[in-house]
Structure 1
């Protein structure tokens, strides 16, 4: 696979199921940054996890309970959050929703 994707049409990116009720697609990336769309069914959970990448997320649709480093807050459409490197974080979809996640650097394991 190439080390970058500069343009992606709405119907061109493939969806990957990551957890029950959760699917993601790579929107675009360079080695320094990646943009990912993640869809959640109501009550689906993005399990608590950590990674060395900095993550910034925008809530494009829905309401989510977001937990970062043991602190939880409910955010809805138009809200955003940022996760510093290596902090434990996760989300629960309180209704059907979508996140737009950005990662720096890119998540190479998402391309495998």
Structure 2
């Protein structure tokens, strides 16, 4: 994994990766301990149920999300957030279209492109 992102990243210059299925992702900054990512969901897009070793905090910037964490589902709207502990299954459906800010500790190595 690359050691860290640049100190300054500009939204209009930082790559937005199309993940398919109505999802796009943009790196906001990272080092080996921490990562922040912006994720766009098209209307009806789904973040599949999965788990990982990382602690995650997600902030809803825009839209409405039906979030499931450890088998419990809640509706989160702009200004809401959630904590996802390591190894807990989670996923989200976005009926409205929206934007999430995801933070991970440690960084998600699988999100980093080798250069």
TM-score, structure 1 normalization: 0.95
Unaligned runs of 5+ in 1: none
Structure 1 residue matching 2:13: 3-state secondary structure? coil
Deviation at 1:19, TM superposition (A): 3.6
Distance 1:12 1:88 in 2: 33
The total of aligned residue pairs comes to: 112
Distance 1:102 1:13 in 2: 17
Structure 2 residue matching 1:87: 3-state secondary structure? coil
Stretches of 4+ aligned residues off by more than 3 angstroms: none
Deviation at 1:12, TM superposition (A): 1.8
Unaligned runs of 5+ in 2: none
Distance 1:22 1:44 in 2: 7
Task: Give the aligned partner of residue 80 of structure 1.
Answer: 81
Structure 1 residue matching 2:96: 3-state secondary structure? coil
* Bigger Cα displacement from structure 2, 11-20 vs 29-38: 11-20
Q: How does 1:26-65 map to 2 (within 5 A)?
A: 26-65=27-66
Deviation at 1:44, TM superposition (A): 0.2
Task: Give the aligned partner of residue 3 of structure 2.
Answer: 3
Distance 2:19 2:80 in 1: 23
